[in-house]
Amino acid sequence: MSEQRSFTLYFLASLTVLITLFHNTVFAQKPRENSKNVILEGFSSTRLLPINELVNSSAKIFTGKVSEVVLSRLNSIKVIKITFDVNEILYNENQDETPRQLTIYYQVPIVFSHVRKGDDVLWFLSGESMAGLSMPIGYSSGYFVKTPAGLYENLFGNHGLWKNNLWEIVSREKIESLLSEQAEIKNSNALSILLEIGDKPPNGPLPIDLLRVIVLALKP
């Protein structure tokens, strides 16, 4: 029974890789002008991406709630259409845009989609391909969702967000300064938590306030 389960998991993983490679070959090699060329690396990457790579590769970083997930078509391509009610845009390469609602299209079989209506998310989003498709950077790495405990983790359980300690990729002083400016968390224990987790790789879900401040400290 265990051998059959192992074979099934291997088959699904192999199928995902083949679909990914097809997607990248057909749609990802021609990014829109002035949009970061991150579809190819972003979708196909199965490695753990540290948070500085997520920030640097993103065309848009935002928090919000999934309001709709439907199967659709885009330029004759079967896609998943996802609409978000945006809470905050943390970074946008198109600085003139401040959308309160955001719709994206991406091509992944519904069986592999983790997106659910009502989810609260933090997404590190790629630029669009010429076909109009976009994805979370690295898919599993750039897709953070709120847990029942109110914390956020990506589909890798936040493993690999930083290898040794956070201070290798971002200034500790800058983090402290940004935290002190956030009125809503100024009097919380967020700073002490961050200083503790900053000295070692994160293990499990993190408060959104801390992820938000790290993004602000790292963004271009």
Asked if residue 59 and residue 24 are part of one domain, the reply reads yes
Asked if residue 115 and residue 56 are part of one domain, the reply reads yes
Asked if residue 22 and residue 120 are part of one domain, the reply reads yes
Do the domain assignments include residue 91? Answer: yes
Q: pTM here? A: 0.76
Asked if residue 16 and residue 122 are part of one domain, the reply reads yes
pLDDT tens digits in sequence order for the chain, 220 residues long: 445 544 444 444 444 444 444 444 333 333 334 444 433 333 444 568 899 999 999 999 999 999 999 888 888 888 889 999 999 999 988 776 667 889 988 876 654 567 889 999 999 998 888 888 888 888 889 999 999 999 999 988 998 898 888 888 888 888 878 777 765 555 556 667 777 778 888 878 998 888 988 898 898 6
Asked if residue 148 and residue 44 are part of one domain, the reply reads yes
Over residues 84-107, the pLDDT tens digits come to: 999 999 998 877 666 788 998 887
Q: Which ranges of 119-168 does DSSP label H, i.e. alpha helix? A: none
Do the domain assignments include residue 159? Answer: no
Which H/E stretch holds residue 16?
A: helix 2-27
Residue whose entry in the numeric block shows the structure tokens 């300690």: 165
Specify the CATH number for the domain of residue 59: 2.40.50
Residue 142: domain span: 2-154
What does the alpha-carbon distance between residue 80 and residue 106 come to, in Å, rounded to a whole number? Answer: 5
- How far is C-alpha 100 from the chain's CA centre? 18
What does the alpha-carbon distance between residue 98 and residue 165 come to, in Å, rounded to a whole number? Answer: 33
